[in-house]
Amino acid sequence: MNEYSTGKQPNNHTPLHQKPRSLFEKVWDQHLVLARDEGPSLLYIDRHLIHEGSFHAFNQLRERGLALRNPKQIFGVADHYVPTVSRKVSDCATPEIEDMVVRFNQNMKWSGIPHFDLQHPDQGIVHVVGPEQGISLPGSTIVCSDSHTSTHGALGAIAFGIGQSESMHVMSTQTLWQTKPKSMRVVIDGRPGKGVSGKDIILHIISKLGTDGAVGYAVEYSGSAIEFLELDDRFTMCNMTIEAGARFGIIAPDERVFEYLKGRPYAPQGQAWEAAVQAWRALPSDDGAHFDRTLYIDATQIAPTVTWGTSPDAALPINGHVPDPADMTDRFARQSAEAALQYMGLASGTPLSAIKIDRIFIGSCTNSRLADLRSAAAVLKGKKAVIPGIIVPGSMPVKREAEALGLDKIFIAAGLEWREPGCSMCVGVNGDLAKTGERVASTSNRNFVGRQGVGVRTHLVSPAMAAAAALTGYLTDVRELN
């Protein structure tokens, strides 16, 4: 293995398991440093990803006089607060944000951590950069001080978000105390229909589970539908798994994953690559592996899906109607729905396709990869948008690939803005905001109150559905446009 490949070897102290094990259990067992029957166990961490907010952890390191255990297993990416209108730090939204990005660069140089700043040719959103650089690998443990770290589970890794104090602990020890979650299997069978993407599937699943339905679980996705999904769709599904309350989502690595990772800068090379693939092929869950809970989904019955409320589980097929809180038997759900409809400015019974949209956003760690951009461009090609919007690629490599295919020209010809990589309007802390009262069709992962600006109303959709909304000015079934 090269110096950047996964450093953890199988735990020789773990007893041989006679019973079948799940993918999650195999990876967890391999990384146990100290196992406890009750309470947290100590896990070895292969990859630690950090962004501009990491200055808190660095401050704690300095205060305690601690050094980094292994800087080569930490990777820094400037993404949350960076401007998307240029690659200049001086174009940050406020002086305070500019200072945060400057401090990120200073901390990276001080620590010797490999990093991707605004001038790096491969800069992007951390959860896009990790996989495409081969930093994220099957069978590894990955942490980052961002809740959507679960994205990397699409490669067969245990990946989850941590706080800044935990980040400091990983920096100084390369380990982390964690309580083993329960296991849930979501079996998705059947070939998804026309216009149905990984975003539609995960919104459908979250609507079934609710935002707390997977609390305390590691969720593994399996079933025949997985083989029909592009790898970018799998990233989307694992990314949003935490919106159901799960610790993380994970999908067994297959030949498509191996093909994707081969030759990536930080992936194993030569003989180390062959050995790694051989080990990865043993990762999928064994027949008869135990799961504490199983959910079955028929992918053929899923339609393009949109959200109507202020939580990702408030999702329905595009041919549905805004629900009536009076029909809800649970008092809490009814009160939440009433508050959501008031904030969203919607009336019960309104067809979802009658909801007017003011602008679109295509981007975020959920939907900013090449397959996402291609699906949107296929809808927009040769047509004009009737509302404004921005398209923000997930990384500089994605941007270059998209431009090589002429996708940028399609977006610009449609009247939309083509930006530089960054988290952008997903979180609204970097200057990319909608106007108060506007309604946005967004490919991001959260539709919380004020997420994209004060009083902004967010509808979560797939890239193709966002493109459809751009053409009509309404939430629109993309299947009716082509």
Residue-range domains of the chain with CATH? 23-180+247-285 (3.30.499.10), 305-477 (3.30.499.10)
**Amino acid 3: pLDDT:** 41
Going by C-alpha positions, the residue among 267, 355, 183, 264 that lies closest to residue 6 is 267
**Amino acid 108: pLDDT:** 96
Going by C-alpha positions, the residue among 359, 410, 418, 412 that lies closest to residue 386 is 359
Residues of the chain with pLDDT under 50: 1-15
d(CA 307, CA 416): 23
Residue 79 Ramachandran class (φ > 0 left, ψ -120 to 50 alpha, else beta): alpha
**pLDDT tens digits along 68-127:** 999 999 999 999 999 999 999 999 999 999 999 999 999 999 999 999 999 999 999 999
d(CA 153, CA 131): 10
The angle, 0 to 180 degrees and rounded to 10, between the axes of the packed helices 370-380 and 396-404 is 40
**With contact defined as beta carbons under 8 Å apart, do 318 and 465 qualify?**
yes
Here the tokens at position 466 are 């966002």
Going by C-alpha positions, the residue among 41, 64, 443 that lies closest to residue 239 is 443
**Amino acid 104: pLDDT:** 96
DSSP state of 134: T
Going by C-alpha positions, the residue among 238, 214, 76, 233 that lies closest to residue 151 is 238
d(CA 113, CA 115): 6
**Amino acid 38: pLDDT:** 87
d(CA 218, CA 251): 11
Torsion (CA) 150, 152, 154, 157 in degrees, nearest 10: -90
Query: What residues contact 180, with CB distance under 8 A and at least 6 apart?
Result: 28, 41
Torsion (CA) 394, 229, 199, 392 in degrees, nearest 10: 20
**With contact defined as beta carbons under 8 Å apart, do 61 and 172 qualify?**
yes
> Which residues sit opposite 177 in a β-bridge?
42
**With contact defined as beta carbons under 8 Å apart, do 231 and 372 qualify?**
no
Q: What is the three-class DSSP state of 293? A: strand
**pLDDT tens digits along 392-427:** 999 999 999 999 999 999 999 999 999 999 999 999
**Amino acid 428: pLDDT:** 85
User: Would you call 187 exposed, middle or buried from its count of C-beta atoms within 10 A (0-12, 13-18, 19+)?
Assistant: middle
**Amino acid 17: pLDDT:** 53
d(CA 234, CA 227): 10
Going by C-alpha positions, the residue among 382, 372, 427, 371 that lies closest to residue 148 is 427
Q: What is the three-class DSSP state of 221? A: strand
d(CA 181, CA 207): 22
**Amino acid 5: pLDDT:** 41
